[in-house]
Each structure stands twice: as C-alpha cells, then as structure tokens.
Structure 1
Amino acid sequence: VGNLILGKEEFVTRERTSCSRRLGVVAGRWLTVVDTPGWWCDFSAQDTSKLVKREILSSVSLCSPGPHVFLVTVKASSAFSERRRRAVEEHVALLGEKVWSHCIVVFTFADRFEHSGAEKCLERGGKALRWLSDKCSQRFKELLVKIQNLVMENGNRVFEMQENILQATAEEKRRVEERFLGVQVRLRFLQP
C-alpha cells in the first residue's frame, strides 16, 4: 500500500521486523509513509513478539510531530473471521483507544486489476469486517481524498501517543540495545 501511495517501489514487500519511513510528493503534497511490520493475522497481540509490538509503538515517532492517519490493511481475498477481528483490535489498541479516530480501512487485492470495490468486500466480509469498518467510521473509499478529509475532521491534529506508552517503549528499546551491546563486547573479547 505504501508503494502504491508513493507511486514507486520504496518499501520491500518481504517480511521484516522493523519499521521503515519514506517521503514522497503525491498530488502536490509531501507525504511521510511509515511501513510497520505486520503480525500474523490470526494471532492475538499476546502471541506477537515483543519486537514487533515495540516497532508498532515506535513507528509513531517516525512521523514528527505524529501521524495523521493509520491505514489498516485487509486482504480482500481472505475471510475476515472474528478471530482476525480480535487480532486487529488488540494490535491497534496497543497505540491507545484514541487511535481509532485516525484509522482508515484499506482493502488489498492480489491482482490490482481484478477487484470488486470496498462495499462488496464489506458485504462478503460479514459481521467481523463490518465491526472494523464501523470502528474506523466506515472510512475505506478513495484513499487520498479520505486521508485529507480525516486530517480535516481531526482539525489537522496528529495522533499523539500517551506519554507513558512512549516512555515504556523507549525504556524497553534502551534495555534491549544495552543487552545487545553487552553481548557484542563480550563476543569481541572472546575472539582470538
């Protein structure tokens, strides 16, 4: 989706565990697009690695002063079960309850030329997908227009992470880096 928005191959499409940020001009406006690592669609947040959860949280800091919009991507070809709905709810909730006013649902298709539209995806998706759409105030059509409208609806205010969540994430990242640095130092001394 980030590559589609920017109109060029900026993000790798293989699985990764860290966030990446790219800038580009789209429709005459500078955009910052941050791609976060995904999670297994049927896994609860409890089953997701600490690293992925930390990256989801720290992704907010890659857009200064904060992101205007979060895109929740859903594969149109996959069944959106109650289990997947709960997984989305839990992972998005890592950012706090206020995040939902900044979310837009985006349906992705394996073949970009063969799609049936958001309304038909919602019809086929059932109760769980309708819940997600409602939670995001049914923002799922005409992406760039929707993004601009959402920014205006929110008074041009960016999403602000709760300070305690940011501090806990930064502290955890610092502890991991210190442990990693300690391992590097020990390894260096162990080598002949």
Structure 2
Amino acid sequence: MEVQNAWRIVMLGKYGSGISSLANTILGENHFEINSLSDLGTRFSQSKTKSVQGRVLTLIDSSGLFLPGRSEEDVEASRLSCMIECAPGPHAFLIVLKVEKFTEQEEDIITQICKLFSEDALKYAAVVFTKGDQLPEETKINQFVAESEALSELVRKCGGRCHVFDNKYWKQTQQDEYRSNQFQVAELLKSIDQIVNTHSGSYYTNNRLQQVESEIQREQKQIRESSENMVEEVIREQAKSRVFKWRLKRYRCLSSMCRWGMRLVRGFTAIVFGVIGLKLMKSLYERIYDPWNEH
C-alpha cells in the first residue's frame, strides 16, 4: 500500500472525546491504543494507513494534542508531532466532539485549532460527534446542532458537514439505520470525498507544514544515500523521527536562551537595553513559546 498516495485525515478535539475509538471504528480494526483520562503524560500523534471502502486513508490520531495540565515543552512536543504526521498537509480535518453541551472549553479547542493551522482549515473540515447514544430517540445530529448557535456556526464554517457515531453501542446492526456506525462511516467518507473534490484533490497546507515537509525530505535523501534497499515507508518514518528530535532539541536550546535573556533584561535598567531591546526580546519569547504562530 503506497502511503504517499493516501488521503491524510487528521482528527482533532478535546482529550477524552473518543478520537482514538473513532479512528478504530472508521478503520474497522483496533489500531490505536485507548488511553484513560488519568494518563496526563505527553501524547504524540500517531498515524495508520489502511484501505477503507475503496479509499486509501492515513488517519492521524491527535487525541493528546490538547491534553491539559502540561509543561510548555510537552505542549510543543505534541504540536510538533502533529505537524510532522500531517506534513505536507492534511486532505481533511475531523473535529471530534461529544453529543453534549457545547461549552467554552469546546470553543477554546476550536480557537486553538484555528491558531495552530488557520481558520481556512475549517474549509477542509467535518464535525464528527461521538456518544451518539445520547441523542434523543428519532433525533438526528443536524437537529442537535441546530439547538446551539455556536455549534451551528461551527458546522456552517465546515461546509455543513456533520456526522455522529457511538463507538460503544452502535457497533452491531441497528433497527434504525441512522444509529449504525457502518452507515455513518459511509456517510463520513462521502463528506471526505466532497472535501477532496472541492479542492481538486489538493490538501490544506501552510508555511509551517511546508517547512516541516522540506526538512523531512532532506532527511529522507540522506537516509537513502546511506542505506541501500530500505523501503520508502521505513525511510520516511526514520526521517520524521530525526526531524522531531532535531526540532525539539532546537526548541529546548532556544527556550533556555530566552529564559536567560528575560532574566537578564529584568536585571538591568531600561536605560541599558532601551525600549527596542525589550521589544526584540518579547518577539523572541513569542517565537519560542508560540513557534507555530506566523510572523
């Protein structure tokens, strides 16, 4: 199976919204580990490529991307992992929410997604709900969405694409076809088809993703030259690992320099450094602690 020809689908949402279980449901097999909410360690993005109903998909499970209560370094590692798995860019985004009240927490996740990528990413997105068993009888997901102005606006920005699954209760054949994961997978794939066709087969990208992809390709070239008879999938995985380690090391170094510089600024008078020096140090600080923000 040629991974490079697969459609890259990145799955984003609040930790605990059922992203990993949903990915397994779409693939029809348990490829992704289901972690408990008590696991507050760093969760890196994972990917799996598989043919699903005639389409070769690479699902990128980024369930740990917005995990709360972590250090700045852990947050950066999660962001970096997601970007590397997505590079050179995803063909579609699946924004995963539970069938429950859309609160400020969920709105903040959407804000973070748009900050990490851009609001243009929503043009490539579909909203996918889990915990579908929470829907009242004979209620469809578009009716649930219509009850919330904020949810309705999000789905509108995503081209009106929304779907619902229940990773626990809808596995078996249901009398109600709508409340069937098999039916919902087919409908979701139609939405992904629509996203890809609308953009003429191209994927979402930006300067950050392009830069990461350039670094991966550079490492791939070096690995090919030093290792004969290695399959392309292995070469790319090794290249991604090298880029991740190099970028994280660079982040740690620059972060340390920034903290030292901020202490130095506070230790001297404004006369020594002046307003310009403070502005330059602030700019460096923002680049380190929000390195994905385009300046």
Q: What are the Cα deviations for residues 49-69 of structure 1, in whole angstroms up to 9, with x where unaligned?
A: 533454245423324542100
Structure 1 segments (4+ residues) deviating >3 Å: 47-50, 110-116, 163-167, 169-172, 176-179
Q: What is the identity, as a one-letter code, of the residue corresponding to 2:27?
A: L
Aligned to 1:144: 189
User: Which has the bigger relative contact order, CA under 8 A and spacing at least 6?
Assistant: 1
Match of residue 201, structure 2, among 121, 134, 156: 156
Q: CA deviation at 1:102?
A: 1.3
Q: What are the Cα deviations for residues 144-181 of structure 1, in whole angstroms up to 9, with x where unaligned?
A: 100011001011111113238956x96752335779xx
Q: 1:132 to 1:113 in 2, by over 3 A?
A: closer
Secondary structure at the aligned position of 2:162 is classed as coil
Q: What are the Cα deviations for residues 121-155 of structure 1, in whole angstroms up to 9, with x where unaligned?
A: 2033x112112112212111421100011001011
Secondary structure at the aligned position of 1:32 is classed as strand
Is 1:131 matched up with 2:153? yes
Q: TM-score, normalised by structure 1?
A: 0.73
1:85–1:129 contact (8 Å) kept in structure 2: no
Q: CA deviation at 1:118?
A: 1.7
CA RMSD between the two structures: 3.3
Aligned to 1:117: 140
Q: How many residues align?
A: 171
Q: TM-score, normalised by structure 2?
A: 0.50
Secondary structure at the aligned position of 1:92 is classed as helix
Structure 2 Cα separation of the partners of residues 48 and 91 of structure 1 = 17
Q: 1:177 to 1:89 in 2, by over 3 A?
A: closer
Q: CA deviation at 1:12?
A: 1.3
1:74–1:107 contact (8 Å) kept in structure 2: yes
Q: What is the identity, as a one-letter code, of the residue corresponding to 1:137?
A: G
Q: Which runs of 5+ in 1 are unaligned?
A: 180-192
Secondary structure at the aligned position of 2:189 is classed as helix
Structure that is richer in helix per residue: 2
| % same residue | 26
